[in-house]
């Protein structure tokens, strides 16, 4: 397929994926269709028109006679950032797109299109986890995340502004493999008994080692630099069991990026996470001894597969009191990742509220303890 | 007439004889009863409760012995009277000895004086003695019988601190008075089954008490505040960079764990003082030259 703007099989208006129903929903005729049906309809439409589907945008070069556009054929308008220019055939506006974008909205007519040519020129995702929460669901998740945050400024709930909200599919590399090797640990056991007016405490320290192996599945590492690493890791976990075969129609209505971090570059990070979890697993398996601490591990990772998934993330910016607070919201679970504003007044008040009574309690205990010691 | 006079004289003589006989009988009965009560008292006195106050008959021996002549006769009388009140009320002896050590250690001097002087009340010869040696400036408290339990090491230390204050100013009678007052407090606490009262802290103790309160207050209050407000509330406001643990990504059915091999690296032994939780405090004891068990403690003033 070429670049496509998905059309409603009923009225041919733009149609988008609706998370709440898991169907493609037309905002014009209110029809809803399964994803596969919309894809099939649009494929036929494409074949009938002999190229791009309907109002699908084309790369700028296509206008001047270059056949079906690809990322490589597009006009690079900024050598430094690699930004490329496309033309929306729906309204004729020029869209400046990052070369990793595979689904985007026209900033003028708000129609979305999917750049199949870019998908095919890089890699087709092995699977996709579709959005499970829409914009309203995301806002509800954000509200829920503010609950129990006592240091949030009082007016935050009323005065905050949702400055930006982009539902985006982000590329992640998922690693399968097996960790094996030896974990060395130290443990100690403590026994005590009474001899006259003395308590004798015997501490025995052991060196332990355990050989072990275990297979792991689907350890994720973010494949894009568009989401900073601290948010990329925080927005996990995703439930891979809910993934489905990739269909580009899922991207309709959302931004999507292909990877700009190659899978080989994510191996070290995946191995690190796998080894850390494996070591913890082995340490936790030692129940015969107390106070087990890991002193070393000689581990190898045998990789059995790396696969490419697109995962749903809401990227939002909340403006409050002139400051922008960026958040990432897991589009599957509603987990909110970010840094909330802190009310300095509340922080001071809570510090005082805890410090004064506990200072008195501990002060009294200290006084009593010293009274016994100096007595 | 004469016959009448003789008869009256005879009657009078008979009456006198009878009166004398009755008196002798009464006296004999009184002595017998006294002896009987004395013997019974000796037998059953041993069953008196350890710390229960009973109106013990206190022997008339002096309880304030001033071998070095530092007390006035008024002070001596006053201290004796004070002691008499305490011993009568609590049934344990209190002795004040002002003396030189005569080449002995304070502990020997105090224990020997107590044992050889026949002090102590009740079957266990319970009592407490304070030796004050004004010339060598030593003090020693010796306890015996049930008083060993009443005056724990800590109690002796507390009493010692209290008496040292007047003694260090050569207030010999004052030291004795403080000693008697303190023993009374401990006897009362033991009788009530209450915690043994502490001594009034001096400026040094007060400084450490308040310093301890200040440090513990700041560290404890600050620690709790940091843990709850900064470690809990503030940390909740930022949840970036928290990659979840991927332990659940491992397939448990594929996990193979060999047996743990272990090797002993070291054995460490540590001895720490042990206090039986059932005891609040304890009294260390020793045996005097006379083979009697004593508690006690002392120092310089």
Q: 3-state SS of chain A: helix, strand, coil percent to 5?
A: 30, 40, 35
Binding-face residues of A in 172-211 toward B, CB within 8 A? 178-179, 186-187, 194-211
Question: How near does any CA of chain A get to the CA of B263, in Å?
Answer: 5
For residue B266, what are its two tokens? 């070291």
Cβ-defined contact of A373 to B208 (cutoff 8 Å): yes
Q: Does the distance separating the beta carbons of A363 and B216 come in below 8 Å?
A: yes
How high is the mean pLDDT in each 10-residue block of chain A (375 residues)? Answer: 77 89 91 91 80 49 35 43 68 76 80 78 89 93 91 87 90 95 94 82 93 95 87 86 90 89 94 95 91 95 94 93 92 92 93 95 90 70
Q: What value does the mean pLDDT take over residues B120-146?
A: 92
Model confidence pLDDT, tens digit, residues A60-111: 443 333 333 333 334 544 444 556 677 776 777 777 777 788 888 877 877 7
A149 CB neighbours in chain B (<8 A) are 233, 236-237
Q: Do B268 and A205 touch (CB under 8 A)?
A: yes
From residue A89, alpha-carbon distances to A70, A92, B198 in Å are 16, 5, 94
CA A205 to chain centroid: 43
* Strands (E) located in B48-118: 64-66, 93-98
Q: How far is CA B234 from CA A47, A151, A211, A320, B148, in A?
A: 58, 7, 41, 18, 57
Per-residue pLDDT, A197? 67
Candidates B160, B235, B237: best to mutate against A (most CBs of A within 10 A) is B237
pLDDT over 90 for what percent of chain B? 42
Q: Do A200 and B270 touch (CB under 8 A)?
A: yes
Alpha helix ranges (H) inside chain A: 35-49, 60-63, 116-121, 135-146, 156-159, 229-234, 267-285, 344-374
Task: Please say whether the beta carbons of A163 and A317 come within 8 A.
Answer: yes
* B214 phi, psi to nearest 5 deg: -65, -50
Which of B157, B225, B264 is best to mutate for the A interface (most A CBs within 10 A)?
B225
In A, which residues are within 8 Å of B243 by CB distance?
233-234, 236, 273
Give, as one character, the DSSP assignment of residue A14.
B
Of A32-46, B174-188, B231-245, where does mean pLDDT reach its minimum?
A: B231-245
- What's the pLDDT score for residue B276? 58
Q: pLDDT for B55-85, tens place per residue?
A: 344 455 689 999 999 999 999 999 999 999 9
Structure tokens at B140: 């020693």
Q: Under an 8 A CB cutoff, do B220 and A375 touch?
A: no
pLDDT score recorded for residue A62 = 38
Q: Is the pLDDT of residue B2 over 70?
A: no
The band of B204, judged by pLDDT with boundaries at 50, 70 and 90, is confident
Contacts made by residues B83-90, CB under 8 angstroms, sequence distance 24+? B83/B180, B84/B58, B86/B180, B86/B183, B86/B184, B86/B187, B87/B56, B87/B58, B87/B63, B87/B121, B88/B55, B88/B56, B88/B58, B89/B53, B89/B184, B89/B187, B90/B51, B90/B53, B90/B184, B90/B187, B90/B188, B90/B191
Q: Are A167 and A255 in contact (CB under 8 A)?
A: yes
pLDDT at position A59 = 47
Shortest CA distance from B241: residue in chain A: A230
Least CB–CB distance from B267: residue in A186, A204, A285 = A204
pTM above 0.80, yes or no: no
Contacts of A273 in chain B (CB under 8 A): 243, 246
Q: What share of chain B is helix, strand, coil (3-state, %, to 5)?
A: 50, 20, 30
Instruction: Provide, as residue numbers in chain A, all residues whose Cβ is less than 8 Å from the Cβ of B238.
Output: 338-340
CA distance B262 to A309: 43
**Under an 8 A CB cutoff, do B274 and A194 touch?**
yes
A341 CB-near residues (< 8 Å, 6+ apart): A152, A153, A156, A320, A321, A323, A325, B237
Cβ of A347 within 8 Å of Cβ of B229? The answer is yes
Q: How many C-beta atoms surround the C-beta of residue A148 within 10 A?
A: 9
Q: Which 8-state DSSP code applies to residue B62?
A: -
What's the confidence (pLDDT) of residue A99? 76
> CB A214 to CB B255 under 8 A?
yes
Residue B40 pLDDT more than 70?
A: no
Q: Please list, in sequence order, all residues whose beta carbon lies within 8 angstroms of the beta carbon of residue B90, skipping any fewer than 6 positions away.
A: B51, B53, B184, B187, B188, B191
Supply the pLDDT for residue A370.
Answer: 84
The residue of chain A with its CA nearest to that of B226 is A351
For residue B213, the distance in angstroms to the closest alpha carbon of chain A comes to 4
Count of Cβ atoms closer than 10 Å to residue A185 Cβ: 23
Task: Copy the structure tokens of residue A204.
Answer: 């025995």
């Amino acid at each position: 397929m070429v670049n496509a703007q998905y059309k409603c099989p009923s009225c041919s208006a733009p149609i988008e994926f609706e998370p709440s129903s898991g169907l493609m929903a037309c905002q014009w005729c209110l029809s809803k269709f399964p994803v596969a049906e919309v894809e099939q309809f649009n494929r036929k439409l494409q074949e009938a028109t002999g190229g791009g589907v309907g109002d699908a945008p084309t790369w700028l070069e296509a206008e001047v006679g270059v056949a079906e556009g690809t990322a490589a054929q597009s006009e690079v308008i900024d050598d430094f950032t690699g930004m490329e220019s496309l033309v929306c055939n729906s309204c004729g506006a020029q869209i400046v797109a990052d070369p990793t974008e595979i689904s985007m909205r026209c900033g003028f007519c708000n129609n979305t299109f999917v750049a199949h040519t870019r998908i095919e020129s890089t890699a087709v995702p092995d699977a996709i986890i579709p959005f499970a929460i829409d914009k309203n669901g995301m806002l509800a998740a954000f509200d829920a995340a503010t609950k129990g945050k006592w240091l949030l400024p009082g007016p935050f709930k009323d005065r905050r502004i949702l400055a930006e909200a982009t539902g985006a599919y982000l590329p992640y590399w998922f690693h399968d493999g097996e960790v094996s090797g030896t974990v060395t640990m130290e443990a100690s056991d403590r026994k005590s008994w009474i001899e006259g007016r003395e308590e004798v405490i015997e501490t025995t320290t052991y060196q332990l080692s355990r050989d072990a192996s275990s297979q792991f599945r689907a350890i994720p590492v973010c494949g894009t630099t568009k989401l900073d690493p601290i948010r990329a890791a925080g927005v996990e976990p995703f439930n891979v069991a809910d993934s489905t075969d990739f269909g580009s129609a899922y991207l309709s209505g959302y931004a999507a990026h292909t990877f700009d971090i190659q899978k080989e570059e994510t191996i070290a990070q995946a191995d690190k996470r796998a080894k850390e979890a494996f070591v913890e697993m082995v340490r936790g398996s030692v129940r015969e001894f107390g106070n087990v601490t890991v002193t070393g591990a000689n581990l190898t990772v045998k990789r059995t597969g790396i696969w490419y998934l697109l995962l749903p993330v809401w990227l939002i910016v909340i403006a409050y009191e002139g400051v922008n607070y960026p958040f990432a919201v897991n589009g599957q679970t509603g987990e909110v990742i970010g840094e909330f504003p802190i009310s300095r007044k509340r922080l001071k008040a809570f510090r005082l509220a805890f410090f004064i009574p506990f200072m008195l309690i501990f002060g009294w205990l200290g006084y009593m303890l010293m009274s016994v010691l100096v007595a | 007439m004469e016959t009448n006079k003789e008869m009256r004289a005879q009657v009078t003589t008979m009456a006198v004889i009878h009166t004398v006989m009755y008196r002798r009988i009464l006296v004999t009965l009184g002595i017998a009863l006294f002896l009987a009560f004395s013997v019974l008292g000796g037998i059953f006195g041993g069953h008196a409760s350890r710390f229960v106050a009973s109106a013990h008959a206190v022997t008339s021996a002096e309880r304030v012995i001033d071998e070095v002549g530092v007390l006035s006769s008024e002070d001596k009388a006053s201290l004796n009277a004070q002691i008499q009140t305490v011993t009568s009320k609590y049934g344990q002896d209190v002795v004040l000895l002002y003396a030189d050590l005569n080449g002995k250690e304070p502990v020997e001097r105090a224990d020997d004086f107590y044992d050889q002087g026949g002090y102590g009340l009740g079957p266990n010869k319970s009592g407490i003695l304070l030796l004050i040696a004004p010339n060598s400036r030593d003090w020693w408290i010796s306890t015996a019988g049930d008083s060993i339990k009443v005056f724990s090491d800590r109690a002796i230390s507390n009493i010692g601190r209290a008496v040292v204050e007047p003694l260090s100013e050569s207030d010999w009678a004052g030291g004795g008075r403080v000693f008697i007052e303190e023993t009374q407090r401990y006897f009362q606490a033991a009788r009530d089954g209450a915690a043994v009262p502490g001594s009034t802290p001096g400026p040094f103790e007060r400084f450490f008490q308040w310093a301890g309160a200040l440090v513990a207050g700041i560290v404890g209050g600050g620690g709790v505040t940091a843990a709850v407000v900064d470690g809990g509330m503030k940390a909740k406001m930022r949840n970036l960079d928290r990659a979840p643990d991927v332990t659940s990504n491992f397939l448990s059915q594929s996990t193979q764990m060999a047996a743990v091999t272990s090797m002993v690296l070291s054995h460490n032994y540590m001895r720490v003082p042990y206090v039986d939780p059932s005891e609040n405090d304890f009294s260390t004891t020793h045996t005097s030259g006379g083979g009697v068990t004593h508690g006690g403690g002392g120092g310089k003033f």
